[in-house]
Amino acid sequence: MNASKYLSAMLLALSLAACTTAGTTPTGVSSSSEVRSGYGTVESVQRVDRDNVGLLGTIGGAVVGGLLGNQIGSGRGQTAATIAGAAGGAYAGREIERRTRSASDVFKIYVRMDDGSYQAIAQETHPALRAGDRVRVENGVVTPI
């Protein structure tokens, strides 16, 4: 019976974690970890919100909250406290992780390379680039030419 409560808390935590949105990269675009050097044209520059946090804080908070909630009450009250603790812990863990990350946004620069491929390069400072600008990409750095 006790194992089913932990399983319920974990399922709730994973369900809540699945509700968070993940960053997406358009189809056919290389991420900044796969950036190749070359020349190209800026397709777009987009601001990416850093509030899009990972799942570690959410899952960790849910587990801790579920364990703490399980210590309260007995019977159905204990089950309700476990679920409420997991939900509250997931929210608290997500907020803690979000606040510990840098508050600034990231800018993604989408570049159509001269060879026809596309690349997405992330940088933390606002780029002085617009769609249509010719650029050089080298070591993950976009430089206007």
pLDDT tens-digit series, residues 22-70? 444 444 444 445 668 899 999 999 987 765 556 778 888 888 888 888 8
Tell me how far apart the 2 most distant CA atoms of the chain are, in Å. Answer: 69
The pLDDT of 74-83, averaged and rounded, is 87
Burial 80-103 (b: 16+ CB within 10 A, else e): ebbbebbbbbbbbbbeebbeeeee
The pLDDT of 109-123, averaged and rounded, is 93
122's tokens: 């992330």
Q: Interhelix angle for 56-70 vs 2-18, to 10°?
A: 150
